[in-house]
Structure 1
Amino acid sequence: MSPAEFQELAQAIRRVSGLVLGPEQDYLLVTRLAPLLRRHNLADLGALLRRLRGPGAGALAAEMATATATHETSFFRDELPFRHLAEIALPRLAAARPRDARLKLWSAACSTGQEAFSLAILAHEGRPALGGRGVEILGTDLSSGVVARCREGVFSDFESARGLSPARRSRWFEAVPGGLRAIAALRDDCRFVTANLVENPPSAGPFDVVLLRNLLIYLDQPTKERVVENCAQRMAADGLLYLGAAEVLLSLRSRFVPLAGCHGAYRLDTPAAARCWGGA
């Protein structure tokens, strides 16, 4: 594969998902697109590129974007944002809502669903602090395959051991062939749909909390700003945005300001958010 061919393939992916691939990542195309080549009976990446130049290029590019996406995740990943949510954010947001209102949470780029189910566990464990109210959790991902997995709510023993204590596994999951399944009470709180955060974000909302974690690190700056703005447009005025541990908004044009007391958490720069969060 020539540098020019790599660049053409990388640009096709980037237009769909915003993923930035450098020349040193040609191995990623080789390994992650191999199943797609077999599925379409294509001999190599050159044949894929020729197909990409013909009819049906849009659908093929979408398949490529899905195949090259990273789906690394775990339950309660990085811990700090979930502790902040449980101890401070969710109780404060609940206190600011009408008594019968459910909190709306969005796990954007949810991968195989561990993040969304972590939120559901927090909400159930902390229900007294939330005034007994329930939550509505939306999980979205570019890949229809991982969204289908999310809806099943089944995790292998290896997946469930990453981030879940034995007590939580016992309380919130049930044994099924192939691993553990989230109990119905958790699954009922979660809805999963396929969505492209760059081109076609969900129309739901407004969300009290948005978790946009460990996605921005893969995107170029204009795409980061577009995705962050898409989130801002779907948030409550006093809602919170949580990024991954290695992500910041300092170099981006956005409507967010850092939230004191929790690295990676941001609030909208609005009077309502300032009143709600103040210095905390």
Structure 2
Amino acid sequence: MTPLDFEYLRKFLKDQSGLDLAVDKQYLVESRLTPLARKAGLPGISDLVQKMKSGAGPLSVDVVEAMTTNETFFFRDKTPFEHLRDTVIPALVQARAARRSLRIWCAAGSTGQEPYSIAMCLKEYGPALAGWRTEIVATDLSNEVLEKSRAGLYSQFEVQRGLPIQLLIKYFKQVGELWQLNADIRAMVQHRQLNLLQDFSHLGTFDVIFCRNVLIYFDQETKVSIFQRLAKRMESDGFLALGAAETVVGLTDAFKPHPDKRGLYRPNHVTAPSLVPGMLAAKSAARA
């Protein structure tokens, strides 16, 4: 792969998926795209790039899917699900008592472990949600991972990563050497292909948004744009859950940290979400 090939791929991935690939990540591109090139019957990545430039649509989709990270596991990081159980659901059960419905969005649903962890949390909450309409929408850029999520079928290794044994026994059945989520849990999750760089207003509004471990791959400007649009998709008393390495601080005033709840944020009740003053000053200086 030549330096020009690498720069082409960096720009392509940023434009198509928001992935902001650092200049020292050439090894990552080579490790993930060399197998894809061979699968396509091409000698190497330079040939892959040439075919992409010629307008090979499906191949370009394969490149994006190969390069976007889909690392996930059940109840990843634990804390967000403790917040969901101990803070978010109790608050919303009280606030939504009249309408008796909840909408939750997993904005990077990957192979399903996160949305299904949320579904199990709702099931475990018990009688307080009996008779409620609960909707979990799982979106991802990759159709391949969404297909795996729809199937709800996981290896022994995958169910051993973060999933308590009592929940495995309660909500899964063994299918050969694999484990499949019960149909009632799978039915709680809707799957839709979505690129966060594009408009997502058609999804409607949500009480809770999980947007975890995806914004870390975007540059500052893209993060700000996504935060502003997420705020418009959230109920005024809703909750936003971010990954452990992610924050709204210094990026937007659309959300504020929830007191004493790391990674949990609330809408900031501003009329028009905007950049915080420091960021505005920085952008103004950059244009000067």
> Would the TM-score normalized by the shorter structure come out above 0.5?
yes
Q: Unmatched 5+ residue regions in structure 2?
A: 271-288
Which residue number corresponds to residue 123 of structure 1?
122
Deviation at 1:40, TM superposition (A): 2.9
Partner of 2:283: none
- The corresponding residue for 1:43 is 43
AA matched with 1:231: L
Aligned partner of 2:63 in structure 1 is: 64
CA separation of 1:169 and 1:102: change in aligned 2, threshold 3 A: same
Query: Aligned equivalents of 1:257 and 1:121: distance in 2?
Result: 27
Q: 1:108: which partner in 2? A: 107
The residue aligned with 2:3 is 3
Greater Cα offset, 147-156 or 197-206:
197-206
CA shift, 1:51, in A, is 2.0
Spell out, residue by residue over 1:152-183, the C-alpha distance to the aligned partner (whole angstroms, 9 max, x if none). 00111111111111111100111112411111
User: Does 2:224 align with 1:225?
Assistant: yes
Distance verdict in 2 for CA 1:229–1:60, change over 3 Å: farther
- Whichever residue aligns with residue 151 of structure 1, its letter is R
Any conservation in 2 of the 1:155–1:179 contact (CA below 8 Å)? yes
Give the secondary-structure state (helix, strand or coil) at the position aligned to 2:24: helix
Tell whether the 8 Å contact from 1:75 to 1:114 is kept in structure 2 after alignment. Answer: yes
Distance 1:202 1:32 in 2: 33
* Superposed displacement of residue 8, structure 1: 1.2
Q: Distance in 2 between matches of 1:100 and 1:185?
A: 22
Q: Which whole-Å CA distance do the structure 1 matches of 2:249 and 2:209 have between them?
A: 18
> C-alpha displacement at 1:39, in angstroms?
3.8
- TM-score normalised over the length of structure 1: 0.90
Change (3 A) 1:39 1:199: farther
Structure 1 pair 40–200 and aligned structure 2 pair: CA distance change class (3 A)? farther
Residues 223-246 of structure 1, C-alpha deviation per residue, up to 9 Å, x if partnerless? 112222232221111111100011
Structure 1 segments unaligned to the other structure (5+ residues): 272-280
AA partner of residue 9 (structure 1): L
Matches within 5 A, 1:60-209: 60-130=59-129, 132-201=131-200, 203-209=202-208
The AA in structure 2 aligned to 1:174 is K
| Aligned partners of 1:135 and 1:189 also within 8 Å | yes
Query: Residue type of the partner of 2:77?
Result: D
Residue identity opposite 1:126 in structure 2: Y
Deviations 1:51-80 (A, max 9, x none): 222234x55433322110111111111111
Aligned to 2:255: 256
Question: Could you tell me which residue of structure 1 aligns to residue 275 of structure 2?
Answer: none
Task: Provide Cα deviations, 1:192-227, integer angstroms capped at 9, x if missing partner.
Answer: 111111124362231110000011111111111222
Q: What is the deviation of 1:131? A: 5.9
Contact 2:227 2:252 in 1 (8 A): no
> Using a 3 Å threshold, how does the CA distance of structure 1 residues 178 and 224 change in structure 2: closer, same or farther?
farther
Query: 2:256·2:266 contact (CA, 8 Å) conserved in 1?
Result: yes
CA RMSD of aligned residues (A): 1.9
Counterpart of 1:245?
A: 244
The TM-score normalised by the length of structure 2 is 0.88
Residue 15 of structure 2 corresponds to 15
Q: Which residue type is aligned with residue 191 of structure 1?
A: Q
| Mapped partners of 1:94, 1:255: distance in 2 | 24
Q: In the alignment, is the contact (CA less than 8 A) between 1:90 and 1:130 conserved in 2?
A: no
Q: Contact (CA 8 Å) 1:156, 1:180: kept in 2 or not?
A: yes
Query: Which digits, 9 at most, give the CA deviation of each residue in 1:93-132, with x for residues without a partner?
Result: 1211144432101111111100000100010110333465
Offset from partner CA, 1:9-65 (integer Å, 9 cap, x none): 111011011111122211111121134313432221111222222234x55433322
> Could you tell me how far 1:84 is from its partner in structure 2?
1.1
Give distance in 2, aligned partners of 1:230 and 1:130. Answer: 29
Cα distance between partner residues in 2 of 1:258 and 1:176: 43
